[in-house]
Structure 1
């Protein structure tokens, strides 16, 4: 199973923006230094979060700010903004089972039913964790 590292980088960026966005200009270069990620990767993440309505970006001089309350930003919303089909790609099913085999010709249907419950459970879990929860935990640990 796999959730892209883009989601954890996005959470890192959102914490940084929440902590410093009111007092400093938060740019993709600054976020790149904080996350250790390429500035292009950061710009792509910012773009996805902006399209989702999570962030605002000032044109010209730059600077990124939160566009909605932390309570409204869930891990599911973040992951979906960056990879809309991440739940479908989460658990892979081998692509070419034998259609001549009774197991092979039915395995996709069998596994789809089993894996659907896992995807649903994960979606519910990701929807239950907000950036406010994450930031509160961050503050407990590091303030």
Structure 2
């Protein structure tokens, strides 16, 4: 039970796209080199982000750009673009309702309420995290790891 790795790769790509704006044409090959992911995986992620209206990709020559300001892109929007089933796929309930056991027959009903609360909490938290806040963290970590000038 974890967030898809596609989500972290997508955030990586979006930060890279933002940082390269005006300095380099961001292609799937360049993003694959940066992320270590297969270029096909990168193209699928970019396609999903484009379909969700988070980026544009120039046809033919490539070159991805953000469609929105980083403050307008939430972690939940990124995750939702990549995971069509959304948060319901995050926590699953094993199939066992047809078994003669009374626990097996009722476990789905027992867990549905608590799992909905967990999903709502995760959704709310992911909506509160923006690409802008992740960029701030990125820049802070860059500054912390920069060589000290003497």
TM-score scaled by length of structure 1? 0.96
Question: Displaced runs of 4+ in structure 1, greater than 4 A?
Answer: none
Contact preservation (8 Å) 1:73, 1:131: yes
Query: What's the counterpart of residue 57 of structure 1?
Result: 57
The higher relative CO (CA closer than 8 Å, separation ≥ 6) is in 1
RMSD: 1.1
In 1, distance between residues paired with 2:14 and 2:3? Answer: 18
The answer to whether structure 1 residue 118 and structure 2 residue 110 are counterparts is no
Deviation at 1:21, TM superposition (A): 2.5
> Aligned ranges for residues 1-143 of structure 1 at < 5 Å?
1-143=1-143
* TM-score normalised by the chain length of structure 2: 0.91
Residue 147 of structure 2 corresponds to: none
State the secondary structure of the residue aligned to 2:103: coil
TM-superposition CA deviations, 1:72-92 (whole Å, max 9, x none): 111100000011213111111
Unaligned regions of 5+ residues in structure 2, if any? Answer: 144-150
Structure 1 gaps, min length 5 = none
